[in-house]
Amino acid sequence: MTVTAPIDSFQGRHRWLSNFWPSAVLMDGLLYGSVENAYQAAKAHPSQRGPFLRDCSPGQAKRLGRRVPLPADWEQRKVGVMRSLLRDKFSPGSQLAAQLLATGDAPLVEGNTWGDRFWGVCGGVGENHLGRLLMERRAELRGR
């Protein structure tokens, strides 16, 4: 496979790579409207997850998630939570999985302007964990 140009932003025609993209994902037996909703809900105690489900946009979920007291082990769990949600979003045989596979070997970089240097890259600096997890998922799907 030849190296293709990086996808350096999950906007425009690559918006479907964003956690804000409408895509039902299952977590702990509940169906959320997007990866962002489920990820933010994962920070909350299971009895407090209702607001992330009901008529809640991904942006609203992100704002709600900022107000949730984080579990003591959140830093150790958050990448695993995201990995699990992305596996559901890009499930084998789904349209989104086909689109992810169609990115070939393009590096996936969650470039942003809002300063997220853990999940993405801002101003050329960042760990790009979201991009890495998406490339990992793509490799898993390719291996099937």
Q: Binning pLDDT at 50, 70 and 90, where does residue 113 land?
A: very high
pTM of the model: 0.94
Amino acid, res. 105? D
pLDDT(9) > 50: yes
C-alpha span between 101 and 88 (Å, rounded): 15
- The domain ranges of the chain are 12-142
The two tokens of residue 41 are 């809900």
Helix, strand, coil shares of the chain, percent, nearest 5, are: 45, 10, 45
Residue 140 belongs to what H/E stretch? helix 129-142
Q: Which CATH architecture has domain 12-142?
A: Orthogonal Bundle (1.10)
C-alpha span between 63 and 130 (Å, rounded): 19
